Amino acid sequence: MVWAPRARVIEVLVPYDAYEEPEHMPLRLVGAGQPGYWGADTVLGHGTDYGYSVDGGPLLPDPRSVWLPQGIHGPTRVFDPAFEWTDGTWSPPDLSTSVLMHVDVETFTPEGTLDAAARLLPAVAELGVHGVELAPVAAFDPALGPSHGVRLYSVHEPYGGPRALQRFVDAAHAAGLAVVLDIPYRWAVADELGLEAYGPYLQGGGRPRPPRPDVGDAGEHALQAMRPRTGQVPLDRPRTGPIQMRTGQVPSIGTRAGKVPSAPTVRTDYVGDRINLDGSGSRGPRDFLVDDARHWLREYHVDGLVLDVDALVDRSPTPFLGELADHVVALGEQLDRRFSLLVDGPGRSDRLTSILLRILSGPGKSEDIQALQMLADLVHPSVRRASRQNGGGRRRMRSGAAVVEDITRLPATQLTVPWAGEESPATALLAVDDVDIRASVLATVVLAGNPLVLDTVHTPVAPRNESEQRLARWARELIAIRHSVAEELDLPLEIRSTADRSVIVVLRGTLAFVLNTGHGLAALRLGSLLRPADGAVQAPLPGSFRLAAAWEPGATRLVGDTLTVPPRMTAVLRAENPTHPTTRRR
Confidence of residue 274 (pLDDT cuts 50, 70, 90): confident
- Beta-sheet pairing, 178-182 with 304-308: parallel
C-alpha angle 523/528/534, rounded to 5°?
Answer: 155
Considering the chain, tell me which residue range(s) the CATH 2.60.40.1180 domain(s) occupy: 489-585
Mean pLDDT, rounded, for 365-375: 84
Sign, CA dihedral 550-552-553-559, equals negative
Strands, E assignment, 188-285: none
What topology does CATH give the domain 489-585?
A: Immunoglobulin-like (2.60.40)
Does the pLDDT of residue 387 top 80, yes or no? no
Percent pLDDT > 90 in the chain is 55
Confidence of residue 364 (pLDDT cuts 50, 70, 90): low
pLDDT of residue 19: 72
Does the pLDDT of residue 419 top 90, yes or no? no
pLDDT of residue 449: 79
pLDDT, tens digit, 9 for 90 and up, residues 36-87: 999 988 889 999 999 999 999 999 999 999 999 999 999 999 999 999 999 9
The better pLDDT of the pair 60, 244 is held by 60
How far apart, in whole angstroms, are the C-alpha atoms of residue 476 and residue 323? 39
Confidence of residue 377 (pLDDT cuts 50, 70, 90): confident
Mean pLDDT, rounded, for 543-564: 94
pLDDT of residue 271: 54
Lowest mean pLDDT among 69-83, 325-339, 363-377, 400-414: 363-377
pLDDT of residue 201: 94
pLDDT of residue 385: 60
CATH class of 95-188+249-428: alpha beta
Considering the chain, tell me which residue range(s) the CATH 3.20.20.80 domain(s) occupy: 95-188+249-428
Does the pLDDT of residue 555 top 90, yes or no? yes
Confidence of residue 10 (pLDDT cuts 50, 70, 90): very high
Can you give the C-alpha Rg of the chain in angstroms?
26
DSSP label at 274?
-
* 59-63: Cβ within 8 A, 24+ apart: 59/13, 59/15, 59/22, 59/223, 59/226, 60/194, 60/197, 60/198, 61/151, 62/2, 63/2, 63/3, 63/195, 63/198, 63/201, 63/288
Does the pLDDT of residue 491 top 50, yes or no? yes
Confidence of residue 578 (pLDDT cuts 50, 70, 90): low
pLDDT of residue 582: 47
pLDDT, tens digit, 9 for 90 and up, residues 178-193: 999 999 999 999 989 9
pLDDT of residue 243: 23
Mean pLDDT, rounded, for 27-42: 89
Does the pLDDT of residue 476 top 80, yes or no? yes
Closest to 440 measured CA to CA, from 550, 366, 523: 550
Identify which of 14-23, 112-121, 141-150, 273-282 has the greatest average pLDDT. Answer: 112-121
The better pLDDT of the pair 346, 187 is held by 187
- Beta-sheet pairing, 23-26 with 10-14: antiparallel
* Cβ contact 431:437 at 8 Å: no
pLDDT of residue 180: 97
Mean pLDDT, rounded, for 460-472: 95
pTM, whole model, 2 decimals?
A: 0.85
pLDDT of residue 363: 60
pLDDT of residue 392: 45
Confidence of residue 378 (pLDDT cuts 50, 70, 90): confident
Closest to 494 measured CA to CA, from 510, 507, 509: 507
Region of residue 176 (left: phi > 0; alpha: psi -120 to 50; beta: else): left
* Cβ contact 530:494 at 8 Å: no
Mean pLDDT of the chain: 82
Mean pLDDT, rounded, for 295-301: 97
pLDDT of residue 537: 66
Lowest mean pLDDT among 211-225, 273-287, 370-384, 505-519: 211-225
Side chain identity at residue 47, one-letter code: G
Closest to 326 measured CA to CA, from 254, 255, 400: 400
pLDDT of residue 225: 39
The better pLDDT of the pair 429, 211 is held by 429
How far apart, in whole angstroms, are the C-alpha atoms of residue 100 and residue 102? 6
Confidence of residue 431 (pLDDT cuts 50, 70, 90): confident
How far apart, in whole angstroms, are the C-alpha atoms of residue 421 and residue 415? 8
* Cβ contact 175:101 at 8 Å: no
Does the pLDDT of residue 224 top 80, yes or no? no
